[in-house]
Amino acid sequence: MFLYVFGCLLVFMGSSIAQTPEECMNQNLPRTPEAGETVEFYTHPYCMNASITWNYPQGAVRARFQLGNGGHNFDICLTHSDVSFIEDIYDETSGLSRRISAPTPGSDTCVSSSQAEAVIRFVAPNVLYYVTYIPYYINGPL
């Protein structure tokens, strides 16, 4: 009995500490926003190299990045993908809204967190696609 409880505790603790590559590479939005709507999305705090999957992209997604590192700052870097269909990207960290460039092959787009959080809003194009992927990685804690 003791070993069973101990094993369950380890599995439970392990699941909150590290995510599998599949879980990190396929962070699906809870729902697709309607045109003109913005959906809030909290990325998993333990995924350091990941992707957001957005089915039938419309409207916008405000992605919030936080690390499970005790409140340290970090950089979130977006990487280029041939299946990333985004019209505009805005850095909304610290409550400001600043348009940033999309990543290109060989040139990532990075945003620094403030008070251990980075916020990036992705706006869908006017053309409806089946899916878009937003790959990213995190450098930090700084």
Residue 2 lies in a domain: no
- What pLDDT band is residue 6 in, cutting at 50, 70 and 90? very low
- What pLDDT band is residue 21 in, cutting at 50, 70 and 90? low
Q: Where are the beta strands (DSSP E) in 36-97?
A: 38-42, 49-55, 60-66, 75-78, 88-91
Taking residues 34-62, report their average pLDDT.
Answer: 91
Residue 4 lies in a domain: no
Taking residues 85-95, report their average pLDDT.
Answer: 94
Residue 12 lies in a domain: no
In angstroms, what CA-CA distances link 24 with 11, 36, 45, 114, 121? 18, 27, 10, 23, 19
Residue 1 lies in a domain: no
In this predicted structure, what is the pLDDT of residue 36? 86
Residue 58 lies in a domain: yes
Taking residues 104-133, report their average pLDDT.
Answer: 93
Here the CATH number for the domain that contains residue 73 is 2.60.120
In the numeric block, the tokens 């006017």 are attached to: 126
Higher pLDDT, residue 138 or 8: 138
Taking residues 84-101, report their average pLDDT.
Answer: 94
- How far apart, in whole angstroms, are the C-alpha atoms of residue 64 and residue 76? 10
- How far apart, in whole angstroms, are the C-alpha atoms of residue 23 and residue 142? 25
Residue 86 has pLDDT above 90, yes or no: yes
- What pLDDT band is residue 102 in, cutting at 50, 70 and 90? very high
- How far apart, in whole angstroms, are the C-alpha atoms of residue 136 and residue 47? 10
- How far apart, in whole angstroms, are the C-alpha atoms of residue 27 and residue 41? 10
Residue 17 has pLDDT above 70, yes or no: no
pTM over 0.95: no
- How far apart, in whole angstroms, are the C-alpha atoms of residue 16 and residue 13? 5
Residue 8 lies in a domain: no
Higher pLDDT, residue 71 or 39: 39
Residue 42 lies in a domain: yes
Domain count, the chain: 1
Cis peptide before 33 (omega within 30 of 0): no
Across the chain, what does the average pLDDT equal? 83
Residue 86 lies in a domain: yes
Q: Give the alpha-carbon dihedral of 112, 71, 135, 137, to 10 degrees.
A: 80
Q: Is the separation of the CB atoms in 121 and 89 below 8 Å?
A: yes
